[in-house]
């Protein structure tokens, strides 16, 4: 089997191996593939492995041998799944790989807002502590999280992981989710969205992006929140109306935001959050620890192996 990896760099910048795929066929790996070269690079291959490279109906028409598309991610909006189904092409994804890591990163964003470790590390190395007349030094308000309330919008596997970590810090946890379950009830209290918005000191977003959740954080929902609320988002950027959040940060209605995702990635220079007060932005790396990427690789290889054995798994 001829296998083409169209955009392998983010999954494997050199610290993993493609050996698992190489045992299943002849493998060609491209670090990145622009849209105009996708069909050409797949060519006569039977399997395409992709992360964010787009595979359209036109691409499938131009690649008559293509039988399998394996995603190196959970989301599959980059593939025309309906066209693939019509053509009998199997599409698989990676349903679970970074639950603990994404929860950990949500907490890291919150802790950075609360303690400003990075800021004070830079201050020390700039000589500001050495120049201080006092034995300690800080120039940013610090915050204790114990006793505060975290509201989690989207209380699935990742949301519950973040909730458990918040509980470990002695925070109260509220949850809003369309499908309450017993495991969630052991961690937090399910409430309506309006109740969560009104009662939370910290709001963490862990919901899927859908027509119902797109822009769920906006001028109207922010108005229902406590003054000085903290917003954490390492789920999907379009959950937030970015202009509305930037305005709320600049006005002080929202005390701080910790974001690992934005609406357009890579971030554009005109994104209003780049100039908003008290906004921490990281470049979509919650998923990126090597342990997570190793799980992605192992699952992707197993997906293709299962397809070749006639018993495909993780089909979308």
Q: Could you tell me the sign of the dihedral formed by the alpha carbons of 88, 50, 44, 61, in that order?
A: positive
Query: Looking at residue 154, what DSSP letter applies?
Result: S
**H or E segment at 309?**
none
Question: How many Cβ atoms from other residues are within 10 Å of residue 304's Cβ?
Answer: 23
243 belongs to the catalytic site: no
Helical spans, DSSP H, in the chain = 19-22, 38-42, 57-62, 81-86, 99-115, 117-125, 157-168, 182-185, 193-199, 219-223, 242-251, 290-308
Q: Could you tell me the sign of the dihedral formed by the alpha carbons of 159, 160, 165, 170, in that order?
A: positive
275 belongs to the catalytic site: no
Task: Choose the catalytic residue: 11, 236, 242, 293.
Answer: 236
126 belongs to the catalytic site: no
Distance of CA 134 to the CA centre of its chain: 41
Closest of 181, 189, 97 to residue 152, by C-alpha: 189
- What's the order of all strands across the beta sheet hosting 47-50? 26-29, 2-5, 47-50, 68-71, 90-92
Sequential DSSP letters for 255-279: EEEEES--SSSSPPTT-GGGGSTTE
Determine the Cα–Cα distance for residues 217 and 209; give it in Å rounded to an integer: 12
Determine the Cα–Cα distance for residues 114 and 140; give it in Å rounded to an integer: 10
Task: Choose the catalytic residue: 22, 40, 144, 265.
Answer: 265
Determine the Cα–Cα distance for residues 28 and 48; give it in Å rounded to an integer: 10
Task: Choose the catalytic residue: 157, 284, 294, 295.
Answer: 284
Which residues are known catalytic residues?
236, 265, 284
């Amino acid at each position: 089997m001829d296998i083409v990896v169209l955009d392998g760099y983010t999954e494997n910048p050199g610290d993993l191996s493609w050996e698992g795929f190489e045992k299943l066929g002849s493998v060609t790996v491209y670090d990145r593939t622009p849209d105009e070269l996708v069909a050409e690079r797949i060519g006569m291959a039977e399997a395409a492995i992709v992360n964010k490279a787009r595979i359209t109906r036109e691409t499938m028409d131009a690649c008559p041998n293509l039988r399998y598309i394996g995603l190196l991610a959970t989301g599959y909006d980059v593939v025309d799944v309906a066209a693939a189904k019509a053509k009998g092409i199997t599409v698989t994804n990676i349903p679970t790989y970074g639950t603990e890591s994404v929860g950990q990163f949500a907490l890291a964003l919150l802790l950075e807002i609360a303690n400003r470790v990075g800021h004070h590390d830079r201050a020390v190395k700039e000589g500001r502590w050495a120049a201080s007349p006092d034995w300690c030094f800080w120039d940013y308000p610090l915050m204790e999280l114990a006793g505060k309330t975290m509201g989690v919008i989207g209380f699935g596997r990742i949301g519950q992981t973040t909730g458990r970590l918040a509980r470990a810090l002695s925070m109260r946890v509220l949850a809003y989710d369309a499908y309450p379950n017993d495991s969630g009830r052991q961690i937090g209290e399910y409430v309506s969205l309006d109740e969560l918005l009104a009662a939370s000191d910290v709001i963490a977003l862990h919901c899927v992006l859908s027509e119902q959740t797109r822009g769920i954080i906006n001028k109207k929902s922010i108005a229902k929140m406590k003054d000085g609320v903290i917003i954490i988002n390492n789920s999907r950027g379009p959950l937030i109306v970015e202009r509305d959040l930037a305005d709320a940060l600049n006005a002080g209605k929202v005390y701080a935001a910790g974001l690992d995702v934005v609406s357009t990635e890579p971030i554009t220079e005109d994104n209003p959050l780049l100039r908003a007060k008290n906004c921490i932005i990281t470049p979509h790396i919650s998923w990126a620890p090597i342990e997570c990427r190793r799980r992605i690789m192992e699952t992707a290889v197993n997906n293709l192996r299962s397809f070749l054995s006639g018993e495909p798994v993780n089909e979308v």
